[in-house]
């Protein structure tokens, strides 16, 4: 296996370790200023909030998986491209590739903020973005596994990575909006911080445990694909359940209004 040393990549692993330890030890969010609560109590209440509703639990699991996949991709995309076919990127600087990937992410954010999606529910946007992420990553995995025309396959895989970044840019604000709807405001930041601890742990396992092995980049891509498929199934179930709940609540609301209007006419 060709070893590629990248200073930002190496320091990103150290940053993940430091951030995980810092969050675990110095977790002070939502503490009363005069009487801070112990970390164990806050973690217990946060876990209770997460498991109190199946909607919240599924949303937290999906958000954790997607953020883990995105962060892992951010750290390993350049070694993956170098291992796939180095000659395919001799005329393109990695800075330009990263700029285009970031632009794809910003395009996803812009599409979410556009008026075209204002009438679409956040759960439906969440479902669509994860579907795009799963199929684009599956396409890149297929292209990187190709035995022939490696240079062309590497270029196609890069296109798939751009669609993946676009879908993540669409996913993040939709997930935040859905969390604001389902999770109480007092516990929202605690839940977000706790999920990021799990994200850091999963990223460390993939980057330090799997990626350094022989053909590790291929294994990491396959693991991310499996995680995306799992999150895709979960978010489809979440969207169907939320749609049924919304329709049921809307029918109950219309039933109450209809009965009140009839009783008002009868009294008149």
3-state secondary structure string across the chain: CCCCCCHHHHHHHHHHHHHHHHHHHCCCCCCCCCCCCCHHHHHHHHHHHHHHCHHHHHHHHHHHHHHHHHHHHHHHHHHHHHHHCHHHHCCCCHHHHHHHHHHHHHHHHHHHHCHHHCCCCHHHHHHHHHHHHHHHHHHHHHHHCCCCCHHHHHHHHHHHHHHHHHHHHHHHHHHHHHHHHHCCHHHHHHHHHHHHHHHHHHHHHHHHHHCCCCCHHHHHHHHHHHHHHHHHHHHHHHHHHHHHHHHHHHHHHHHHHHHHHHHHHHHC
Query: Residue ranges of the domains in the chain?
Result: 7-253
Tens-binned pLDDT, residue by residue, of the chain (268 aa):
444 445 566 677 777 778 777 776 666 654 555 556 666 777 777 788 788 888 888 998 999 999 999 999 988 888 887 776 655 555 677 778 888 899 999 999 888 887 777 778 888 889 999 999 999 999 988 888 776 656 667 788 888 999 999 999 999 999 988 888 888 777 788 888 888 888 888 888 888 888 888 777 888 889 999 999 999 999 999 888 888 876 655 444 344 333 443 444 344 4
Say which CATH class 7-253 falls into. Answer: mainly alpha
Token pair belonging to 264: 């008002």
**CA atoms of 141 and 144, how far apart (whole Å):** 5
pLDDT of residue 2: 43
pLDDT of residue 250: 42
pLDDT of residue 258: 38
Entry pTM: 0.74
pLDDT of residue 247: 63
């Amino acid at each position: 296996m060709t070893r590629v040393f990248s200073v930002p990549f190496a320091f990103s692993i150290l940053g993940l370790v430091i951030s995980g330890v810092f969050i675990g030890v110095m977790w002070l969010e939502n503490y009363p200023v005069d009487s801070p609560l112990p970390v164990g109590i806050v973690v217990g209440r946060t876990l209770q909030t997460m498991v109190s509703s199946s909607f919240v639990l599924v949303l937290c699991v999906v958000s954790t998986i997607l953020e883990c996949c995105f962060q892992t991709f951010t750290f390993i995309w350049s070694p993956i491209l170098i291992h796939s076919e180095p000659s395919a990127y001799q005329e393109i600087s990695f800075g330009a590739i990263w700029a285009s990937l970031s632009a794809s992410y910003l395009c996803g954010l812009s599409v979410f903020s556009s008026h075209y999606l204002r009438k679409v529910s956040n759960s439906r946007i969440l479902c669509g973005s994860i579907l795009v992420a799963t199929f684009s990553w599956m396409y890149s995995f297929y292209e990187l596994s190709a035995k022939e025309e490696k240079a062309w396959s590497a270029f196609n895989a890069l296109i798939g990575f751009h669609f993946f970044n676009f879908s993540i840019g669409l996913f993040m604000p939709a997930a935040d909006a859905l969390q604001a709807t389902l999770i109480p405001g007092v516990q929202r930041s605690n839940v977000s911080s706790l999920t990021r601890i799990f994200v850091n742990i999963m990223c460390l396992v993939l980057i330090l445990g799997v990626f350094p092995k022989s053909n590790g980049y291929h294994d990491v891509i396959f693991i991310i694909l499996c995680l995306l498929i799992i999150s895709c199934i979960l978010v489809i179930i979440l969207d169907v359940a939320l749609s049924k709940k919304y329709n049921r609540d809307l029918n109950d609301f219309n039933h109450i209004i209809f009965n009140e209007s009839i009783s008002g006419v009868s009294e008149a």
